[in-house]
């Protein structure tokens, strides 16, 4: 099977940048990025590159070079599936809001729908690649769906989790610490792995490409995110102790980080981690541990999320204390709405939690973020704003 076309289902923070880089590095391969969200695809195709649906440093330059040459953004998912030899799945996998595992397990509806669609549409053999972060053993379920719905076609399922961080996505994609490709230990499984290796090899040194079994690859992604989030919660928990004892958290971070066994990354204290991944992935890990009867392990990781919630609440409490325990009518300026710099993503941003808390307690907020649109901020605060609908204006403006 010669790889002349690949497609990616899901044109979000992972699908968009990842496929743009593949298109840029593989000019002989057609790369289709498809999504059910028409508005998002329209934004990816907008003439003005400032209107792309996501902001990432360096992304506009690559899009300018590749879009409508060998990089196509489209809503025609069926055609993209039909014509591609490799299909990447980069759809969102949020925490389940109902049913078994509610509040912890990853909701795999989008993944299941993709698998059903691929099975229904495919007329030739396909390699299906999990890019989304998924619980360990999901590949098995995807394969089951594919096989049961289409008996004529041979499907190989690979796990190739994405380690990019928003805000540095393009740099991360070019200078990945490692690329993990998990596949079945069968001749066709190994062949599929090599097809994907051949794509990454164009710009990633081969020693950084790890071939593993599917389960290790799936679990490595959850484990990496859990370890990173754990460092943030560790330093944040110590910031509370510093405030009580007169120690300085920045001096502590520096002193601890200089120990080369620990290292300095992910040791800056903050109002708490945000973003769509850390909390969701740790909760998913907690759920997995519970399913396998590992209660203590589940509790250990759950504490990482609990400390994060504590840190966000602690921050609002400090503000309240400063104003004699009441912020009614107090005007407060919030600078920064995205969950971190260099992204327009506000999912799970600490700003949402802090602002909601402050609005509930009667404060008047002015909010500014150069990357996040006013409509997004209003949506993020929808519930609390509705509750206070009859009061005086609460969110004054975003100066954008
Ligand atoms: P996103 O929400 O930005 O994008 C997902 C896209 O998939 C959406 O545009 C949605 O419309 C589309 N979609 C969902 N179901 C679909 C379907 N059946 N057919 C067509 N399109 C469909 O999500 P994001 O942030 O790109 O994350 C995707 C996955 O990658 C998640 O599993 C996430 O955990 C993982 N991940 C995210 C990273 C991040 O920094 N955002 C980093 C590494 C992994």
Are 107 and 137 spatial neighbours (Cβ–Cβ below 8 Å)?
no
Distance 161 CA to ligand 1 centre (A): 12
Mean pLDDT value across residues 223-244: 97
What is the tens place of the pLDDT at every residue in 66-100? 999 999 999 999 999 999 999 999 999 999 999 99
Q: Which two tokens stand for residue 54?
A: 């996501």
Domain 5-214: CATH superfamily is NAD(P)-binding Rossmann-like Domain (3.40.50.720)
Q: Which two tokens stand for residue 160?
A: 């190739």
76, 253, 273, 350, 394 from 316: Cα distances, Å: 46, 23, 15, 11, 17
Q: Of the residues 7, 8, 114, 277, which is catalytic?
A: 277
Distance of CA 293 to the CA centre of its chain: 27
State residue 388's pLDDT score.
79
pTM of the model: 0.94
Instruction: Name every residue whose Cβ is closer than 8 Å to that of residue 171 and which is 6 or more positions away in sequence.
Output: 57, 58
Task: Give the pLDDT band of residue 289 (cuts 50, 70, 90).
Answer: very high
Length of the chain (residues): 400
State residue 387's pLDDT score.
85
Distance 12 CA to ligand 1 centre (A): 5
State residue 134's pLDDT score.
94
Instruction: Using the predicted structure, report yes or no on whether residue 54 has a pLDDT greater than 70.
Output: yes
Instruction: Using the predicted structure, report yes or no on whether residue 394 has a pLDDT greater than 60.
Output: no
Task: Give the pLDDT band of residue 111 (cuts 50, 70, 90).
Answer: very high
State residue 389's pLDDT score.
75
Q: Which atom of ligand 1 is nearest to the CA of 281?
A: 34
277 among known catalytic residues: yes
State residue 1's pLDDT score.
85
Query: Which of 168, 173, 229, 277 has most ligand 1 atoms within 8 Å of its beta carbon, as the pocket-test mutant?
Result: 277
Domain ranges of the chain: 5-214
State residue 390's pLDDT score.
63
Query: Which of 7, 11, 12, 280 has most ligand 1 atoms within 8 Å of its beta carbon, as the pocket-test mutant?
Result: 12
Q: Which atom of ligand 1 is nearest to the CA of 276?
A: 41
What is the tens place of the pLDDT at every residue in 171-213? 999 999 999 999 999 999 999 999 999 999 999 999 999 999 9
Nearest CA to ligand 1 atom 2: 92
What is the tens place of the pLDDT at every residue in 144-166? 999 999 899 999 999 999 999 99
Mean pLDDT value across residues 255-283: 96
Nearest one of 215, 241, 63, 67 to 130, comparing CA atoms: 215
What is the tens place of the pLDDT at every residue in 328-377? 999 999 999 999 999 999 999 999 999 999 999 999 999 999 999 999 99
State residue 393's pLDDT score.
52
Per-position DSSP letters for 85-151, written without gaps between them: SEEEE----PBP-SSTTTTTSB--HHHHHHHHHHHHH--S-EEEEE-S---TTHHHHHHHHHHHH-S
| Ligand 1, residues at Cβ distance < 6 Å | 9-15, 35-37, 40, 77, 90-93, 110, 113-114, 132-133, 162, 164, 166, 276-277
Nearest CA to ligand 1 atom 37: 14
């Amino acid at each position: 099977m010669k790889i002349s076309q690949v497609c990616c289902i899901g044109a979000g923070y992972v699908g968009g940048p990842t496929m743009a880089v593949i298109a840029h590095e593989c000019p002989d391969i057609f790369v289709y990025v498809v999504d059910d969200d028409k508005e998002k695809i329209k934004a990816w195709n907008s003439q003005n590159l400032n209107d792309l649906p996501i902001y990432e440093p360096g992304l506009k330059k690559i899009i300018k070079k590749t879009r409508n040459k060998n990089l196509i953004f489209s809503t025609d998912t069926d055609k993209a599936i039909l014509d591609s030899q490799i299909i990447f799945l980069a759809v969102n996998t949020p925490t389940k809001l109902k049913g078994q595992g509610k509040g912890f397990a990853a909701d795999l509806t989008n993944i299941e729908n993709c698998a059903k669609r691929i099975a229904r549409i495919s007329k030739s053999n396909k390699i299906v690649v999990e890019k989304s972060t998924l619980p360990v053993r999901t590949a098995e379920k995807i394969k089951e769906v594919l096989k049961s719905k289409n008996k004529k076609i041979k499907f190989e399922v690979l796990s190739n989790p994405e380690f990019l961080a928003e805000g540095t996505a393009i740099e991360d994609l070019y200078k990945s610490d490692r690329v993990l490709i998990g596949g079945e230990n069968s001749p066709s499984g190994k062949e599929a792995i090599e097809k994907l290796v051949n794509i990454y090899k164009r710009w990633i040194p081969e020693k950084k490409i790890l071939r593993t079994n599917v389960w290790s690859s799936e679990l490595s992604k959850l484990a990496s995110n859990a370890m990173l989030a754990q460092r943030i919660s560790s330093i944040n928990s110590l910031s509370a102790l510093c405030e009580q004892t007169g120690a300085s958290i920045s001096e502590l971070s520096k002193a601890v980080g200089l120990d080369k066994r620990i290292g300095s990354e992910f040791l800056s204290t903050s109002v708490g981690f945000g973003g769509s991944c850390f909390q969701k992935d740790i909760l998913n890990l907690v759920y997995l541990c519970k399913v396998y009867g590992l209660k203590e392990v589940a509790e250990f990781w759950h504490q990482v999320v609990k400390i994060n919630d504590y840190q966000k609440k602690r921050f609002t409490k400090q503000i309240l204390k400063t104003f004699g325990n009441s912020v009614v009518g107090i005007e407060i300026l919030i600078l920064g709405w995205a969950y971190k710099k260099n992204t327009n993503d506000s999912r799970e941003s600490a700003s949402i939690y802090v602002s909601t808390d402050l609005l509930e307690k009667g404060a008047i907020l002015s909010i500014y973020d150069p990357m996040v649109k006013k409509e997004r901020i209003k949506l993020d605060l929808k519930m609390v704003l509705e509750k206070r609908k009859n009061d005086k204006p609460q969110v004054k403006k975003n100066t954008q």
